[in-house]
């Protein structure tokens, strides 16, 4: 039975993504279909252990001189995504239509520009002072890349960052939907941007969560995660006659585990609550979900928790898969990057595979898609993103 929704759906009128899977959505689609890992040894900086990463190795664009204070790898990744396909033109069309004050920007990030801060700290260590061209609140603090994009595009609407570790940009979609539902905005640009840095690589290594080889999400012999980077941009607008042929964001479910700072609830209670909440807000039933894009980091505990969450919520679970063996875990960008993966699945009609999967964990009491399935066209998709602090979000998307 379909209930009436508790929040109005919003329309995804444009999206783009830069990741290890390629510089735009066309390249990402090709990578998803090929299902050959894009993880490679790290070239950006040295680390004292072995792993593979999802690094963007193509050149990044320069930041314009007037916004030079914002220059950092995170801002450059965001600018690169903005320049792909006709995305920038789509945003400019929306600004022209509604006015800059009616267009908001919500960023989800965990790293912000800390890679460039690390370089500044190296100079501090060497010279005793921070470099003159280091601007703390324009590079390092969480809103920096949001402010950069806002200035770059000449927006005048609300602008802020959500930084809840690996659920950041999924929760940014939730905040954006609310800005539209309350008529605070007519359009909102959601950006999920995270960049490779020593802090996250060495931090996750200290937690003994890093895999030396390409990770194997939901595999019985998974041995940890690979870090990735990326910038995903998603333009949301209110429904109207012109955008009736575009996919919709129906709802984002959110919850807290209230269990542990860096380990998920063992039975996935919070994860299941987030998925159930997304369906409840949208007035949809578990039986209607065609595919779940799993968070599936390939850490032992996280995948177990998520497998139990899916099994507990869905009497007859739909096919599930995770793409972090392909792209790495893009941390604060993962919610938006994998929403783009899910949008491609909705629009182009396929189920993404689980790169790296050999033998699914026996706790997975649901079909785990190993190789991409081009014979299935999902219409309703859940995409999960769970982070430190037991911070859970699940994004519910529907085809036009």
Q: Which residues bind other proteins (CB under 8 A)?
A: 6-7, 101, 110, 114, 117-118, 121-122, 124-125, 129-130, 136-137, 140-144, 146-147, 156, 158-165, 171, 175, 178-179, 181-182, 184, 198-199, 202-208, 254-262, 269-270, 273, 387-391
Please, which residue, 72 or 114, has the CB nearer to other proteins? 114
Q: Are 340 and 235 in contact (CB under 8 A)?
A: no
Name the residue nearer to other proteins (CB basis): 14 or 269: 269
Q: How far apart are CA 323 and CA 218, in angstroms?
A: 11
Residue number, 262 or 377, with CB nearest to other proteins: 262
Cα 115 from chain centroid? 19
The CB-of-120 to other proteins minimum distance in angstroms stands at 9
Q: Which is nearer to other proteins, 63 or 351 (CB)?
A: 63
- Closest approach of Cβ 47 to other proteins, in Å? 10
Least distance (Å) between residue 137 CB and other proteins: 6
291, 318 Cβ separation under 8 angstroms: yes
d(CA 326, CA 34): 10
Q: Is residue 179 within 8 Å of 104, Cβ to Cβ?
A: yes
Relative orientation angle of helices 114-127 and 198-206, to the nearest 10 degrees = 90
Helix 73-82 to helix 144-153 angle (10° resolution) is 40
Closest contact distance (angstroms) between CB of 141 and other proteins is 5
**In angstroms, rounded to a whole number, what is the distance separating the alpha carbons of residues 22 and 137?**
30
As a whole number of angstroms, the distance between CA 218 and CA 52 comes to: 18
Q: Shortest gap between Cβ of 231 and other proteins (angstroms)?
A: 18
Residue 29 CB-density burial (10 A; 0-12 exposed, 13-18 middle, 19+ buried): buried
Rounded to whole angstroms, how far apart are CA atoms 180 and 190?
Answer: 12
Catalytic residues: 166, 295, 329
E strands in the chain: 10-19, 103-108, 159-162, 187-194, 230-237, 248-256, 291-293, 320-321, 380-387, 391-398
Separation CA 10–CA 248 (nearest Å): 6
Shortest spacing between CB 181 and other proteins, in angstroms: 5
Instruction: Return the number of the residue (207 or 212) whose C-beta is nearest other proteins.
Output: 207
Choice between 217 and 332, CB closer to other proteins: 332
């Amino acid at each position: 039975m379909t209930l009436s929704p508790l929040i109005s759906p919003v329309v995804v009128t444009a999206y783009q993504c830069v990741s290890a899977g390629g510089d735009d959505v066309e390249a990402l689609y090709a990578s998803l279909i090929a299902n050959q890992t894009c993880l490679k040894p790290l070239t950006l900086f040295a680390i004292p252990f072995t792993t593979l990463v999802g690094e963007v190795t193509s050149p990044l664009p320069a930041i314009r001189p007037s916004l030079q204070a914002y220059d950092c790898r995170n801002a450059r990744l965001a600018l690169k995504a903005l320049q792909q396909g006709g995305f920038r033109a789509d945003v400019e069309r929306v600004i022209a239509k509604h006015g800059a004050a009616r267009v908001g920007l919500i960023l989800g990030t965990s790293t912000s520009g800390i890679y460039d801060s690390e370089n500044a700290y190296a100079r501090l260590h060497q010279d005793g002072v921070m470099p003159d061209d280091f601007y703390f609140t324009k590079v390092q603090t969480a809103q920096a890349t949001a402010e950069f994009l806002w200035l770059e595009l000449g927006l005048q609407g609300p602008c802020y960052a959500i930084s809840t570790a690996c659920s950041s940009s999924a929760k940014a979609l939730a905040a954006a939907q609310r800005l539209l539902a309350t008529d605070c905005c007519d359009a909102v640009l959601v950006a999920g941007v995270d960049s490779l840095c020593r802090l996250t690589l060495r931090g996750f290594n200290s937690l003994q969560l890093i895999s030396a080889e390409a990770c194997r999400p939901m595999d019985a012999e998974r041995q940890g995660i690979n870090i990735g980077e990326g910038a995903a941009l998603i333009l949301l607008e209110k429904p109207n006659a012109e955008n009736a042929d575009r996919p919709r964001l129906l709802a984002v479910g959110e919850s807290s585990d209230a269990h542990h700072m860096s380990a998920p609830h063992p039975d996935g209670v919070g994860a299941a609550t987030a998925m159930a909440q997304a369906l409840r807000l949208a007035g949809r039933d578990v039986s209607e979900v065609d595919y779940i894009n799993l968070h599936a980091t390939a850490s032992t505990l996280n995948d177990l928790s998520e497998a139990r969450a899916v099994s507990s919520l869905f009497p007859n679970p739909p096919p599930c898969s995770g793409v972090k063996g392909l792209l790495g875990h893009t941390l604060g960008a993962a919610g938006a990057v994998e929403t783009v993966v899910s949008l491609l699945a909705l629009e182009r009609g396929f189920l993404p595979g689980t790169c790296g999967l050999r033998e699914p964990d026996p706790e997975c009491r649901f079909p785990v898609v190993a190789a991409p399935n081009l014979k299935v066209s999902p219409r309703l998709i859940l995409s999960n993103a769970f982070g430190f602090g037991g911070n859970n979000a699940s994004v519910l998307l529907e085809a036009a």
